[in-house]
Amino acid sequence: MHGLGLKYLDRLRFEERPWGDVKKAYTHFQNGDVLVAKVTPCFENGKAGIATDLPNGIGAGSSEFCVFRPAAGADKRYLLAWFSTEDFRRRATVAMTGSVGLKRVPKEVFLSEQVPLAPEREQQRIADKLDTVLARVDAVNDRLARVAPLLKRFRQAVLAAATSGRLSTISREGTKQPVTSVPSSWPLVSLSSMSDVIDPNPKHRNPSYQSDGELFLSTTNFAEGGGWDLRGAKHVSMDTVLEQQARCHFTRQSIVFSRKGTIGKVRMVPPIESFALLDSLVVINAKEGLSASYLLIALQSPIVQEQVVRLTRGVALKQVSVGVVRSLEIPLPSTFEQSEIVRCVNILFAFADRLEARLQAAQTAASRLTPALLAKAFRGELVPQDPADEPAAELLKRLAATQPQPANKRGRARASAAP
């Protein structure tokens, strides 16, 4: 299915092979045919396309393709647009048969589909218009997709600047001046010297899970973009929670650090009263002289994350030991400058959050453009109608006249060919 694209009018990708290698056990097609994937999840993902520029004009592909050869008077792009509409895909998806994970749209669903048929010249105008406007929609989506990585790099740059002294303009030696390099007055200190790094489950045994009770959290509960997603969390007894709370001394300023699997991710503890943690997480409690908010920034910064990458061990399960977490080095500015760094980072991250919210709104709106335009096309609202066009009824008569009639042999009708 890799040859079919996901966008309207994506070009069909192919490789050349000797015909003898593909003439059997493959679906054959030719230039101008419309190909639609009929198997899940390719069908739901919109994999379809038009065969063009094939060597010798013919091709072969997966048996999971349905091939449609437009009759004279039916525009192939118009037909592809119909198979790309949400209405058709919704009906066909409901009618899928087969086992879970390998469901297909039956041939009968395609054959029984009734396509709104516009006059031939109007089909061409609709297809031309769709070519133009959907190319613009694709360009918009591509540009929007490039914004998210830019925001990610922006946040990383802010973190790097925060821990290198470039973000703040704090007084040094009695004068205010911009800081352009890591100040020599910022020592690099081990995490253990300025905080308590605690293994919540030193015996590394998972507790007995319960159908309900207190929340038991892991990295799977880290929400994308920060915070926690407590849905789907397992449950344990209150005894497990009390044992961990006594060991870890949780406060609202405690930080959780992931040391297995997804390594180096950090969160402030969730804003709930009662919970326990999987042993893939360690708890970090900042000591006097170290702001927990600044520590959260430092742990996410490149200067710490590069240490984490370098010290990670393991193949099947990558991890760092609790001892390695304790040995991580962070730059330590004065408490006054820590506060200024936190203030600046919060302002810049809030700005990035607002941009991200606008981006998501724009992407949601853009994702609705293609279905809306396709629906508009088949309601006759996309292009003006021309009274000089041949009526669609006349086109239907011509199409009916060109259809082969079923031949009778010994009183039995021959089955029609598959699309």
What single string gives the DSSP state of each residue in 133-157? HHHHHHHHHHHHHTHHHHHHHHHHH
Alpha-helical (H) ranges within 84-225 are 86-94, 107-111, 120-145, 147-162, 191-194
Mean pLDDT in residue range 262-268: 93
Q: In whole angstroms, what is the distance from residue 281 CA to residue 298 CA?
A: 18
pLDDT in tens, 205-228: 778 888 889 999 999 999 987 899
Taking residue 195's Cβ as centre, other Cβ atoms within 10 Å add up to 21
Peptide bond into 149 cis (omega under 30): no
User: So what's the pLDDT on residue 412?
Assistant: 38
pLDDT score for 269 = 94
Q: Is the dihedral of CA 332, 333, 335, 338 positive or negative?
A: negative
Q: Is the pLDDT score of 183 beyond 80? A: no
The answer, yes or no, to whether residue 170 has pLDDT greater than 90, is no
Average pLDDT, the chain: 87
**pLDDT of res. 14:** 81
Residues across the chain: 419
pLDDT at 175 over 60: no
**pTM for the whole structure:** 0.77
CATH 3.10.290.10 applies to domain 187-332: no
pLDDT at 388 over 60: yes
The residue-averaged pLDDT of 345-366 equals 96
Task: Indicate whether 247 pLDDT > 60.
Answer: yes
Most confident of 36-50, 171-185, 299-313: 299-313
Spans of all domains in the chain: 19-117+389-413, 120-172+334-370, 187-332
pLDDT of residue 178: 44
Span 170-190, average pLDDT: 59
Which top CATH class is 19-117+389-413?
A: alpha beta
- Residue 75's SS3 state is coil
Percentage of residues of the chain with pLDDT beyond 90: 58
User: Residue for token digits 């069909």?
Assistant: 12
What percentage of the chain exceeds 70 in pLDDT?
Answer: 91
Res 415 pLDDT > 80: no
Residue 356 is encoded by which pair of tokens? Answer: 């991200």
Q: What pLDDT is recorded for position 92? A: 93
Residue 408 reports pLDDT greater than 70: no
**pLDDT in the model for residue 124:** 94
The pLDDT confidence band at residue 303, using thresholds 50, 70 and 90, is: very high
pLDDT tens readout for residues 87-146:
999 999 999 998 877 899 999 999 898 889 899 999 999 999 999 999 999 999 999 999
Banded pLDDT at 229 (limits 50, 70, 90): very high
Weakest-pLDDT range from 65-69, 296-300, 306-310:
65-69
Beta-carbon neighbour count of residue 240 at 10 Å?
A: 23
Please determine whether the domains at 19-117+389-413 and 187-332 fall in the same fold group of CATH.
Answer: yes
Per-residue confidence at 418, pLDDT binned at 50, 70, 90?
A: very low
